[in-house]
Chain A
Amino acid sequence: MDVLEVLIPLALILGACGLVFFIWAIRSGQYEDLDGAAQRILIDDGDVPLPDVTKTEEKI
């Protein structure tokens, strides 16, 4: 049973990491334009990430 002392916290930490990343993804506007994301993959070049995306997307 001693192994539980490691495994349970480990599982919770991993899960919490997932949750934190999910919240970060929503906050940074990555779920705002799902259709656009599907289209943008077809653009060959020039679609470099723009500076300040995180801050500016929230204002739209």
Chain B
Amino acid sequence: MPVADDAPHDFSAYVEYNEHGKPAMVLMVDGVHCAACIQKVESALHKIPHVTYGRLNFSTKRLRVEWDGSVQLANDLAQAIRHQGYNVYPYDPKAIQSESDEEERQLQLCLGVAAFAAGNIMMISVALWSSSIEIMGIGTRDLMHWLSGLIALPCVFYAGQPFFRSAWSVLRFGKTNMDVPISLGVIGAVLVSLWQVSHHGEDAYFDSAVMLLFFLLIGRYLDFRARRKARGAASDLLAMMTGTAIVIQEDGRQKSVPIRDLKEGMAVLVPMGQRIPADSQVVTGVSDIDTSLVTGETMPRVVGVGDAVYAGTTNLSAPLNLIVKSAANDSLLSDIVRLMEKAEQGQAKYVRLADRAARLYTPVVHTLAAATFFGWWIFGGVDVPHAVLLAVTVLIITCPCALGLAVPVVQVLATGRLMKRHILVKSGDALEQLSSIDTILLDKTGTLTLGQPSMIRQEALSVEHLQMAASLAAVSHHPLSRALLREWSGETLLFDDVREYAGQGLEGYYHHKRVRLGSRVWCGDQKAEVHNTQEIWLEIDALPVACFEFEDLLRSDAKETIAALKQSGIRPVLLSGDRQAVAQKVAQEIGIDDVSGDLSPVDKYNYMDVLRRDGHKVAMVGDGLNDAPTIAGADVSISPATAIDMTQNAADIVFMGEQLGSIVEVYRTAVFSGQLVRQNFMLAIIYNVIAVPLAVFGMVTPLIAAIAMSGSSLVVIANSFRLTRMKK
């Protein structure tokens, strides 16, 4: 994770006015993951005078603030949250106004209405079934039927909308989908029942119609929740570029300019700890640049006069004067954004198993219903209303309740199971896709390795030296300094006159002794033995006293994970932005045969794209911004929770913790879920094979329809629950 702050934003530009004419703003907050975070963010806001409202939506990570006073307070508010340790970005509700929020609410309402109607109609229906015409008399029966109809009509009209709308949208173009027979069945059942009831008929199917809607809406709602992605990843990246940069004007004065307005040739000042706004060249200054966001490299790169720096990287150790080489929308970062948008669009083509089943299913159902109608009308010698009734029974009986529940229930259970193991499945198709992959692409830094240097323990180190080094390192953003600081938990010493020399190290004075912490060349023992590690040296009064060695350690179970994947018949491939030799060494160590090093983000994407074109099913595991396009474009993608937010958002699955074995766990769950879904389909088909002939020959009463429908749904649900008993 980059430790530095983001590019500065002028938050006051995003302020809107609420219905009382008071300023209000919506922010995206990064890194909120527990109750304490919610409290920290909200109480930080409430401490500020004038703030009248501040509430963080934990699911969407959006924070809404309202206050009483000047628009300029917006920047202070954002700053207050940053001080709590959370990054904030402005959020433009108009830009990403989520239609899915509205859709979800609509589905919830329909589900609520259907539940109410189904419950009440069933209450009446049970009375009808358990009694007979001799006991209750025709008047009571008609009353019961009319009551059922009275509840069913508005309910079907309201709660059926999701199906009617979807059916109409395809019918208009002369096509058909699963919602067409559903709509026909439900509307037909209600109309025929109305006709029956008005003729003092014996049977009414209001209960079947409403219960059908209820079951189908459950499936639809679960499915919707599983499929919804948190938010488009590409738009997040763009949000990063909406900050401002400090431009030095010709008269030498500084001015804040939005990043998107930067032009080639402008002079820009980037203070320490901030992001480079556009691809540029260094004019004055020497500094370390954290390029982890763009290249995935852990080690900062030293840049001096004349060197090129890229948008999205972070300036770590000293202010830099830059000259902009290409406008913000030509930068490497925006190339990545474009690639991601393209990749996200390409994703839509996948046809899910449930939809493929529906394509086979729909014509069969229509044909059966039509055959039943004509069969009874022409050969059976019944009148038209009766023939219609029989055809509608076929539609109702074949209605894909079990089919509609087969996938979502398994999905929800599988997601819940993985959640308990700290694996978050974000997209509904992820598990289905994962169960059929044959190639898995792995990034090196941060994916196979932990992504941060860890100090290698040495016996010879003295506590005093470690304390001194850690205290000096505390002022620096350099990853090795951070790693050193993590090793020290005691008190830190106070240094005077601490300075950071880019690419060299830190210098400070402790009790008038000059202490240096830095590279071998700068303050180390040149004659010491060279290990294949990263090292920093501690020097006191020009005498090197200690050497600290660091390595980006492999995740402890990387080797087993690769072996397990190979055993399942999946080909692992290592793709790295790092040098070929380094990648090769890691690959050998953990048993991967196919390695590609020196890859740019675009190279990685192309590698994946070529594989997919050749008909392979590809999974991508990665954590950096350089992996983001590949992650967005792969059939299915996994990222560790230590990945940058953009990558996590693009990924279908995010796993927490240091164990790479999570990948195997997800894969096994995915395969088992796939089996369960297929079994569920088989159960649904068996049910139809038994029930449909009964319906076609007119032997189905409302009671049988109700039992058959709920029975088949329950069997499917029960079968799905076998997932929770899957062995570890």
Q: Categorize the interface residue count of chain B.
A: 35 or more
Name the one of B38, B57, B112, B119 contacting A26, with C-beta atoms under 8 angstroms: B112
Q: B116, A19: Cβ atoms under 8 Å?
A: yes
Are B116 and A32 touching (Cβ within 8 A)? no
CB neighbours of B58 from chain A (8 A): 33, 35-36, 39-40
Query: Which residue from chain B places its CB closest to the CB of A36 in the assembled complex?
Result: B58
What string of 1s and 0s marks CB contacts (under 8 Å) between A23-38 and chain B? 1001000011111100
What is the bound-complex CA distance between A16 and B24, given in angstroms?
Answer: 37
Q: Given A8-B147, A32-B59, verify A39-B64 contact (CB < 8 Å).
A: no
Q: How many A residues touch the partner, as a band?
A: 20 to 34
Given contacts A22-B112, A31-B105, A33-B59, whether A56 and B18 have CB atoms under 8 Å apart is yes
**Closest approach, in angstroms, between the C-beta of A15 and any C-beta of chain B?**
5
When the two chains form the complex, which single residue of B24, B39, B66 contacts A46, counting CB atoms closer than 8 Å?
Answer: B39
Nearest A residue to B54 via CB reads A50
User: Which residues on A sit within 8 Å (CB–CB) of B119?
Assistant: 15
A56 with B112: CB separation less than 8 A: no
Q: Are A46 and B43 in contact (CB under 8 A)?
A: yes
Nearest Cβ in chain A — how far from B231, in angstroms?
Answer: 13
Q: A56, B64: Cβ atoms under 8 Å? A: yes
Majority DSSP secondary structure for residues of B touching A: helix
- Give the residues in chain A near B463, CB-CB below 8 Å: none
Which residue of chain A has the shortest Cβ distance to B127 in the bound complex?
A: A4
Question: Once bound together, how far apart are the Cα atoms of A53 and B66, in whole Å?
Answer: 12
> A8's closest neighbor in chain B, by CB?
B147
Residues of B within 8 A of A43 (CB): 35-36, 38-39
Which residues of chain B are near A34, meaning CB under 8 Å?
59
Secondary structure of the A contact surface, majority rule: helix
Chain A contacts for B53, CB-based, 8 A: 50-52, 56
* Complex Cα gap A22–B136 (Å): 35
At the interface, yes or no: A6 with Cβ under 8 Å from chain B?
no
Per the bound structure, the CA–CA distance linking A18 and B38 in Å amounts to: 31
Contacts of B136 in A (CB 8 A): 1
CB-nearest residue of chain B to A52? B53
Closest residue of chain A to B106 (Cβ to Cβ) is A26
Give the CA-CA distance A8 to B34 in the complex, in Å.
Answer: 47
What's the Cα separation between A26 and B101 when bound, in Å? 12
The reply to whether B64 and A59 contact each other, CB–CB distance below 8 Å, is yes
Q: Please give me the residue from chain B that is nearest to A5 by CB atom.
A: B143
Kindly state the separation between the CA atoms of A11 and B105 in the bound complex, as whole angstroms.
26
What is the distance, in angstroms, from A27's C-beta to the closest C-beta of chain B?
8
Within 8 Å CB of B105, what residues of A? 26, 31
Is B701 in the interface zone, CB < 8 Å from A?
A: no
- What is the bound-complex CA distance between A33 and B42, given in angstroms? 15
- CB–CB A36/B18 < 8 A: no
Q: Which residues of B contact A16 (CB under 8 A)?
A: 116
Asked if B476 is an interface residue, CB under 8 A from chain A, the answer is no
